Amino acid sequence: MTTLTFCQIASFLVAPKLTKLIGEACFIGCKSLKNIDFPTTLATIERYAFSACALYEVTLPNIETIAKNCFTECNCLTKVVIPNSVKEIEEEAFCSCENLKLIELPNSIEKIGKNSFYGRSKLSKVVISNKVKIINKQSFSACKELVEIVIPEGVEIIKEFSFVGDVKLKIITLPKILKEIGEAAFADCLSLQEINGLENVKTFEVGCFYQTKVTSNKIPQTAFKKSDRYKNN
């Protein structure tokens, strides 16, 4: 098996044809790395592999998992193409990618880890796979340019702080099977004024709509109060 480990490289890298694995923290902090061509044989990219690199665009090969912190703090990254083979995006995979504008999540994705897209990205629209059942903690929080989020019918739970601080988010349509909106899930979404699909939601955790413009007789008043955990967050 061919494995890549850390090395000094130029701005463009063509990975060897027989490469099957890119190791943990392989290219972490490689500020010169702007583009990489992945071989079709590549099956695994381990955690932190490209963290804090200067990659501009990434077209991933047929891997099943985007590992923890794989592209964290890739501040030049603007576009990611994810193949239909990917089933899981692990926690903080694209955390603090502040110039990320375009990412398409294929219907193959079953799990999105916490903090996956947390922090300062330029994503304006996100469409989530209909196989995802839980939107995890802080998955899309502090995405300051996010205007639209499409939450599919498969989602049953929106966890705490999932979209907190998405200040441009205006309208959300929730799936009919959604059961729970977590603590401070949409707190400080200052532009949020319309939510469709609240009919079957049974649990509104404290502060889930704090500092929003949402009005509904269905929502308890505790949902509009600031939670203690959010105060300390």
Tell me the C-alpha distance between 135 and 160, whole Å: 9
> What mean pLDDT, rounded, does the chain reach?
90
If you average pLDDT over residues 169-182, what whole number do you get? 93
Q: Which of 16-25, 83-92, 196-205 has the lowest mean pLDDT?
A: 16-25
In the chain, where the domains are located: 1-116, 124-233
**pLDDT number for residue 231:** 64
Note the pLDDT tens digit of each residue in 24-64.
999 999 888 899 989 989 999 999 999 999 999 999 999 99
Structure tokens at 69: 């912190």
Q: How confident is the model at residue 213 (pLDDT cuts 50, 70, 90)?
A: very high
Nearest-angstrom CA–CA distance, 146 and 117: 11
CATH level 2 (architecture), domain 1-116: Alpha-Beta Horseshoe (3.80)
Tell me how many helices (H) and strands (E) the chain has.
1, 19
pTM equals: 0.89
Res. 18: pLDDT tops 90: no
Say yes or no to pLDDT of 222 above 80: yes
Q: What is the mean pLDDT of residues 216-224?
A: 93
How many Cβ atoms sit within 10 Å of the Cβ of residue 150?
12
Fill in the amino acid letter for 145. E
Q: Which runs of E-coded beta strand occur in the chain?
A: 2-4, 12-14, 19-22, 35-37, 44-45, 57-59, 65-66, 79-81, 88-89, 102-104, 111-112, 125-127, 134-135, 148-150, 157-158, 171-173, 180-181, 194-196, 203-204
pLDDT, tens digit, for every residue of 79-114?
999 999 999 999 999 999 999 998 888 999 999 999
* Residue 16 reports pLDDT greater than 90: no
Q: Is residue 156 a contact partner of residue 134, using CB atoms and an 8 Å limit?
A: yes
At residue 8, the pLDDT reads: 54
CB 54 within 8 A of CB 33: yes
Q: What is the pLDDT of residue 5?
A: 45
The confidence score (pLDDT) of residue 4 equals 47
The reported pLDDT for the residue numbered 9 is 57
